[in-house]
Structure 1
């Protein structure tokens, strides 16, 4: 079986986790602090705050920006449901706009058209690791006095060219960027997330909110030669990362450039292998360099998506359908008037994600391409 994804973990990460376990400090502690420093340095962000997952990162981002009841947040439906859920967690209303005609990212023109007096923020997703048009979105946010949050769950290692310079996703260009370290991402800590920002006040709020609003974290209290009584300054959450996860993450960070380079090679090879099959193949804008967290192809209109996926599974190749649309799921399918989302729906219904991971061999990719070719011929 060729899986849809496979994390690259070996003895280096096992030894790092082993050392963290034996250190006696397994909750949020010195490894988390080191991971935050190293991640911030890698993406060029002044501040990075580690949390339990990217869902909690997005939730804290919106809470720190004081998004609340009565507010509207513009985002895409075409994303994992956590993007929309986090807006609801704050009591705000997600306003869904469609993706662009090219690619699978939010359309800045539709964002601009969706702004109302109640709009508080924009959540822009770098879908499948492909950077969205940050230059246009920053201009829209600045013009409207809106916060811009980058859902960079899939985008560790991706780059964007703004003003002639290449820079990593996560610096960030918006107010906040949120990352995931789920096993399907390019680097993993099992579960885990990171929030980056240029604003020290926002970073302080993240750190309070992730640990019950506690004024003095455990590292400070344990290191202090005098007794410290902590205060609880706000209603917070338990969104901490463990030192075991952070130790693994520090090892994964060292691999990130190599992993991205490998995935870019694999994506280019897929492009060559699949070009004759009549599929809609993904491409990069001239100003974007994707980490290729996923490789998404659009099937011909006459082909049955589920049947292709099942027959490929029967041939030993795992796939996934196109990225979901939150507005079609029970929590958001409430009959409310919404913008035209036909491009998002078409992407979900006509696309499939192919296996892509660093350990894939050329023979693995040939097998995937051959299985897909066979099924397309059967349904032609």
Structure 2
């Protein structure tokens, strides 16, 4: 079986985790602090805060901005359901806008019509590692006084051209960027997340809220020569990352550029092998974006049935995934007031599929994927 994704973990990650286990300090501690410093330096962010996953990162972003009941947050339905769920969990209302079919990201030409007097934030998703058009989005948000949160779950290592220079996603172009370290992402800690920001006060709130609202971190108490009694100054959460995860993450960070180079090579081979297939739509990369190719999403011609193609590939030993889900089609959102047409989002879910992408995929296996896909498309023609 050729899987859709495989994390690249080596003895270095195993040794790093083992050292933490034997150190006696396995919860949030010095490894987490080091991971935060190194991640912030890598993306060019003044501040970084490690958490348990990207969902909790997004929720902390909304909480730190005091977004809650009565507020609206603009985002896309075409994203993993966590993007919408965190808005609901804060008591706010998600307002879905359609996507640009070229990038699978928020269509910025639809943004102004979605803004109301209740709009407090925009969650801009960098879907599948492809940067959202922040140069178009940010002026609109700033003009209306709206906060911008980047859902960069898939985008570690991706770059965007801003103000004439290539800059990493995570050097907060908006107010906050949130990352995931799930095993299907470019780098992984098993589970885990990170928030980056240029705002010191927001970073202080993240670090307070992730640890129960505790006034004094346990690392400070344990290293103090005098007794300290902590206080719980706000209603917080347990959204911490462990030192075991952070130690793995630090090793993953060291090879991020290598991982992305390999993924970009995989994407280039897909273009070479599938670029001339009639009617098959391959993902594009705008001139202002450099994707980490966390996923490689193709669009089937209209006459092909997505599920049938996927099933036939599975029977040939090739795992695929359907196009990115649409939250508004799921039960928790099916009765929500959908103000805007989401046609492109629905087409993308129904006609797209994700092909295997991981750094260690063998060229012969990738050729098997593309040959089987072409045979399947020819068979149905």
Shorter-chain TM range is over 0.9
- 2:357 and 2:100 mapped to 1: Cα distance? 24
Residue 220 of structure 2 aligns with which residue? 220
Residues 213 and 237 in structure 2, CA contact (< 8 A), matched pair in contact too: yes
- 2:378 alignment counterpart: 377
Q: In the TM superposition, what are the counterparts of 1:292-331 in structure 2 within 5 Å?
A: 292-331=293-332
For 1:49 and 1:269, the matched residues in 2 are separated by 36
Residue 66 of structure 1: CA displacement?
Answer: 0.4
* 2:130–2:292 CA contact under 8 A, matched in 1: yes
- Aligned to 2:155, the other structure's residue is in SS state coil
TM superposition shift of 1:335? 5.0
The match for 1:29 is: 29
Task: Tell me by how many angstroms 1:29 deviates.
Answer: 0.4
Between the aligned partners of 2:287 and 2:144, the Cα distance in structure 1 is 27
Which residue is 1:194 aligned to?
Answer: 194
Note the C-alpha offset of 1:138: 1.0
Which consecutive residues of structure 1, in runs of 5 or more, have no partner in the other structure? none
Q: Please give the alpha-carbon distance, in whole angstroms, between the structure 1 residues aligned to 2:336 and 2:325.
A: 18
How far 1:90 sits from its partner (Å)? 0.4
SS at match of 2:332: coil
Asked if the contact 2:96–2:338 (Cα under 8 Å) also holds between the matched residues in 1, the reply is no
Alignment check: 8 A CA contact 2:51 2:210 kept: yes
2:89 counterpart residue number:
89
Deviations 1:279-332 (A, max 9, x none): 100011000000000000000111110000000000000000000000000011
**2:376 matches 1:367:** no
SS class of match (1:313)? helix
Tell me the secondary structure at the aligned position of residue 120 of structure 2.
strand
- The whole-number CA distance in structure 2 between the counterparts of 1:26 and 1:259 is 27
Structure 1 ranges of 4+ moved more than 3 A:
none
**Is 1:243 the counterpart of 2:243 in the alignment?**
yes
Map of 2:170 onto structure 1? 170
SS at match of 1:61: helix
What is the CA-CA distance between 1:276 and the residue it aligns to? 2.0
Match of 2:359, SS state, is coil
1:160 is matched with: 160
**2 CA distance for matches of 1:19 and 1:337?**
51
TM-score by length of 1: 0.99
Quote the RMSD (CA, aligned, Å).
0.7
Q: Map Cα deviations across residues 91-149 of structure 1 (whole Å, 9 max, x no partner).
A: 00000000014220001111121000000000000000000001111111100000000
The 5 A counterparts of 1:257-268 are 257-268=257-268
State the Cα distance separating 1:61 from its structure 2 match.
0.2
1:336 positional shift: 2.0
CA distance in 2, matches of 1:378, 1:231: 68
C-alpha contact 2:95 2:338 (8 A) present in aligned 1 = no
3-state SS in 2 of match to 1:213? coil
CA separation of 1:335 and 1:60: change in aligned 2, threshold 3 A: closer
2:103·2:132 contact (CA, 8 Å) conserved in 1? no
- 1:337 positional shift: 3.5
How many residue pairs get aligned? The number is: 380
* Structure 1: distance between partners of 2:102 and 2:181: 27
Shift of 1:338: 2.3
Structure 2 equivalent of residue 354 of structure 1 = 355
Superposition deviation, residue 344 in structure 1: 0.2
Residues 349-370 of structure 1: CA deviation (Å, up to 9, x unaligned)? 0000000000011101100001
> CA 1:248–1:335 in 2, change beyond 3 Å: closer, same or farther?
closer
Task: Look up the SS of the partner of 1:331 in the other structure.
Answer: helix
